[in-house]
Chain A
Amino acid sequence: MQFSRGSRSIFRDLDLTIRKGDVTAIMGPSGTGKTTLLQLITRQLSPDRGQVFVAGDDISGYSRLELYAMRKRMGMLFQNGALLTDLSVFENVAFPLREHTDLGERLIRNVVLMKLHAVGLRGAAYMMPSQLSGGMARRVALARAIVMDPALLIYDEPFVGLDPISMGVIAKLIRQLNDALGITSVVVSHDVHEIGEVADFSYVIADGRVAASGRPEDLKNEQSELVRQFMLGLADGPVAFHYDAPDYAQQLLGPSQD
């Protein structure tokens, strides 16, 4: 699959498969297009060339109705939670149920409380999003993402900006929900340690293609310099510390161009 933003090529030749029932990690340095890949999987974007298959179907030709039908079988956890700020925690989780089902109020209440209980926030049901910490907001968003019992759950950078306890909680939830609900999970992250704990399979994306793939423990022994730099968190390497710039001495001592 190929995809560009303007003249900048994001994916030149990307080919990967998400296995059903697994937690698959998509990793890579910042700016390699991990979030863009999620947007392509959910068809918020369309590839320039190539195809994206979801559950065996090519989604590029989907009408809006077909697209929405597909998305009802997906849940997505956004980087910042993306809770609806004018609704309470309870109403946020109930939102997809109210929009897509004709369930009675009592049943909605029970389903919402069960999902909130699964993420440990039943007690916060009547709080507003502004009263939640970053970790709590992400757990509420996770409860909302699973409220329709999706077949595919997508996490966009679920660990960013969280303290170690919250990171541990989210990592545990990703694994538990995947196994308990029998769903497929895709996790975009550059947190090598945390994702290594929960993923069954990982892809490292760089230079618009898959640079390496395998089980997390296999990636630690990967010989590619780029993958080693990423996995070990080295400051310099194929991904250079310095952004492209003119000669340092010449720029400092030469004539000013301001």
Chain B
Amino acid sequence: MFRDIWMTFERFLHSFGGMCLFLLRMLQFTPGVVLRRFRLVVYQVYNAGALSLVVIMISGLFVGAVLALLAHSSLEQFNAEDTTGIFAGLGLVKGIGPVLTALLFAGRAGTALTSEIGLMKATDQLSAMEMMAVDPVRYVAVPRFLGGVVAMPLLSAIFTAVGLLGAHLVAVEQYGVDVGAYWQQMQNVMDWEDVSEGITKSVVFGVVASLVAVWEGYNSTPTAEGVGRATTRTVVVTSIAVLFFNYMITAMYI
């Protein structure tokens, strides 16, 4: 059993090291890609961002509504319903917004990235690029990685904004909390540090989710089963990594 655990740990280290080197290689190509292939990056921002927009907005609306429901039902016992906005705001901006956006991003855009690159590998498109003296990391991986890194904070901001709107609908429209109190309490309590925590998280999660998706696709076994497994790994690894970094960043800000 110890041998199995050790081998699993060894595999993890091998994969983690490979992923770090892959990230360094992508960062090395990033300035060139931004300068020479900016259109590719813009297309990938659209691909990863705009196409995830509907699922992000619908989820944000319901998550905000549920937060307001829970906050209101607890706070009304202390006659503090007016502070519902604080709980919804802090919850969405600092924690739930970036985390759920990253998890939804992994499920929607991350899996699409992995399977797209995996299929390109399975159909020899990456080998063909190598044979045309074009590095596939530069042409395929970097624009997709940058697209995800740019799209994630934007999606997280939209998720949070729509979530606040959902919370507003429940607290103000459904339960009759004063609209001025809802927004004013939120504004009084929340400061720049709360917002910067949310931004930091969404940027880190964007790097993590995009890196995992691109790495898994690039290193998938070029078969139908291999691409399927890589896609599953993208969701699992991203979810665990996002929850881990969420804890680390939250602890850093406290």
What is A's interface to B at a CB cutoff of 8 Å? 42, 44, 67-69, 71-72, 74, 76, 78-80, 82-85, 95-96, 99-100, 141, 144
Contacts and interface: CB of A to CB of B under 8 A. Distances in A.
Given A83-B128, A85-B125, A96-B133, 4 more contacts: A44-B131, A68-B135, A80-B123, A99-B134
B54 interface: no
B132 A96 contact: yes
A67 B133 CA distance: 8
Which of B125, B129, B131 neighbours the largest number of chain A CB atoms within 10 Å of its CB?
A: B131
Contact of B127 (A78, A83, A95, A141): A78
Interface of A is mostly: mixed
Contacts of A71: 130-133
Contacts of B124: 78-80, 82
A74 B131 contact: yes
Given A82-B123, A82-B124, A69 B131 contact: no
Interface of B is mostly: helix
Interface residues of B, number: 14
6 closest cross-chain pairs (CB), A and B? A82-B128, A82-B124, A68-B133, A71-B133, A76-B131, A78-B124
Contacts of A76: 128, 131
Contacts of B125: 82-85
A96 B133 CA distance: 8
A85 B130 contact: no
A99 B133 CA distance: 9
A82 B125 CA distance: 5
A69 B134 CA distance: 10
A82 B134 contact: no
A79 B123 CA distance: 10
B47 to A, nearest CB: 10
A190 to B, nearest CB: 19
A68 B129 CA distance: 11
A85 B132 contact: no
A84 B127 CA distance: 11
Nearest to B138: A99
23 contacts: A44-B127, A68-B135, A69-B133, A71-B130, A71-B132, A72-B133, A78-B124, A78-B127, A80-B123, A80-B124, A82-B124, A82-B128, A83-B125, A84-B120, A84-B129, A95-B132, A95-B134, A96-B133, A96-B134, A99-B132, A99-B134, A100-B133, A144-B132
A158 B196 CA distance: 57
Contacts of A85: 120, 123, 125
